[in-house]
Amino acid sequence: MNLSFFDQFSSPSLLGIPLILIAMMFPALLLPSPGNRWINNRLSTLQLWFINLITKQLMIPLDKKGHKWALILTSLMMFLLLTNLLGLLPYTFTPTTQLSMNLALAFPLWLATLLTGLRNQPSVSLGHLLPEGTPTLLIPALILIETTSLLIRPLALGVRLTANLTAGHLLIQLISTATTTLMTTMPVVSLLTLAVLLLLTILEVAVAMIQAYVFVLLLSLYLQENI
């Protein structure tokens, strides 16, 4: 029994070094830079294929000026994907469960898209605040609503990622605690709970990948509006 189910989200530290530091730097070890051979090893080939795939997907809707963002969006995607998936291993720490980190990722990038739009094409960027074809009476209200929705975007990006991962980890912990506790008293119910746990783990793997994708996709969407 844990002292509290939220203990898993505080970063343990040994010798003064918090585990979150290792958790953030470890994904880099899993991405070796491909050598200068014609055919690389399987890991590098898979990795290159995957990175090409996501970069193409992200860059197709953007014009040439948006291609400057290719490196940061792709590396953000790889980082989020790997940290989310590695967090599903036992005893590991997921840095993206910390709201501070997700807001630190979301806020500057969103602000960068906003400032790019306001600097290069201010009237077009501001024009996004009013959808076409709205009745004249609704215009003031709609501008206020659209401004609020614009300003809440970084918060939504950060909180979405945090909430999804935190909820997933918490559910896994709760259901596994239920499974182990029930094993002595009602084994059949425990088996059913084990089946639920299996399905939940598959869901968590999917959520880990989807959330990374959604984060980067939304950022690229904000970029498309503003570039």
Partner 1 sequence: LPAAVLLKDTKLMDVKLGQLGSWLATRDFTPGGIMGAMRRGYERYYNKYINVRKGGLGGISMVLAAYVVLSYMWSYSHVKHDRRRKYH
The residues binding partner 1 (CB under 8 A) are 1-3, 7, 10, 12-14, 19, 22-23, 26, 29-30, 32, 35, 41-43, 86, 89-93
**Alpha carbon distance 148, 152 (integer Å):** 6
- Minimum CB distance to partner 1, residue 105 (Å): 22
Contact in structure between 170 and 9 (CB atoms under 8 Å): no
For partner 1, the closer of residues 3 and 137 by Cβ is 3
For partner 1, the closer of residues 10 and 147 by Cβ is 10
For partner 1, the closer of residues 19 and 163 by Cβ is 19
- List C-alpha distances in Å: 183 to 139, 172, 177, 208: 61, 17, 10, 29
For partner 1, the closer of residues 94 and 226 by Cβ is 94
- Minimum CB distance to partner 1, residue 45 (Å): 10
For partner 1, the closer of residues 44 and 57 by Cβ is 44
**Alpha carbon distance 28, 105 (integer Å):** 17
Rounded-to-10 torsion of CA 32, 18, 87, 215: -80
- Minimum CB distance to partner 1, residue 194 (Å): 18
**Alpha carbon distance 178, 39 (integer Å):** 49
For partner 1, the closer of residues 9 and 107 by Cβ is 9
- Minimum CB distance to partner 1, residue 30 (Å): 7
- Minimum CB distance to partner 1, residue 92 (Å): 5
- List C-alpha distances in Å: 187 to 180, 190, 192, 197: 10, 5, 9, 15
Q: Which of 57, 97, 96 shows the shortest CA–CA distance to 217?
A: 57
**Alpha carbon distance 213, 197 (integer Å):** 24
**Alpha carbon distance 113, 222 (integer Å):** 6
- Minimum CB distance to partner 1, residue 46 (Å): 10
Residue 227: how many other CB atoms lie within 10 Å: 21
